[in-house]
Amino acid sequence: MTVKVLVYHVSQDDPKKNTARKLARFELATLFHKVAQIPRGSILLDPFSEKALSREDVAAAERRGLVALDCSWKKAEEVFPEARAKTEPRALPYLLAANPVNYGRPFMLSTAEALAASAYILGAREQAEAMMSKFIWGPTFLVLNKEPLDAYAAARTSGEVVAAQRDFVPDEPESAGGTTVEE
């Protein structure tokens, strides 16, 4: 299985450090620059979605694509409403970042980490490994999150992902810019 990986990219940060651009250089993601290019019916990674990404989303991700927004939060607040209207928004469950800027912080994933986690959860583990292999810290992301990723990938529905997430969220989660998915 292969997930069609798409990234709405607005070139707002250092191109040398941008993880989405690096995935695109290795032909592991397709970048586009207009919101109108987001495919109708695709899965949109949205940290504010009330539904968790799960195996229920496999068919849409294969056919229409898995979309990440690679832009500032200010721009994201403008883009999300328009993007939500034509997509199926999904949140990622609790995971820890391995990128050098946010190592060990929950929910503070790079675009590449979010996409790789999504592919893994959807059953495209080899694709996730290929994405993370392009970064020095990438394999660490998969090792750091192996147990939760395996649990989320084994879950069939959003509700099961949410139930599995409870095993990995600390009693007093840090305020790190994200929220756990609830259903």
* pLDDT tens string 127-178: 999 999 999 999 999 999 999 999 999 999 999 999 999 999 987 645 444 5
CB 108 within 8 A of CB 63: no
Helices 125-132 and 111-121: crossing angle, nearest 10°? Answer: 160
- Token duo for residue 79: 């883009």
Q: How many residues does the chain have?
A: 183
Compute the Cα dihedral for 150, 131, 100, 44 and give only its sign. negative
* pLDDT tens string 21-47: 999 999 999 999 888 899 999 999 998
In whole angstroms, what is the distance from residue 166 CA to residue 123 CA?
21
Residue 95 has pLDDT above 60, yes or no: yes
Strands (DSSP E) along the chain, which ranges? Answer: 5-9, 30-32, 43-45, 66-70, 88-90
Question: Could you tell me the pTM of the whole model?
Answer: 0.89
Tell me, what's the pLDDT at 176? Answer: 44
Residue 99 has pLDDT above 60, yes or no: yes
Which amino acid would we find at residue 113?
E
- Neighbouring C-alpha atoms within 13 Å toward the C-beta of 63: 9
- Token duo for residue 158: 């959003």
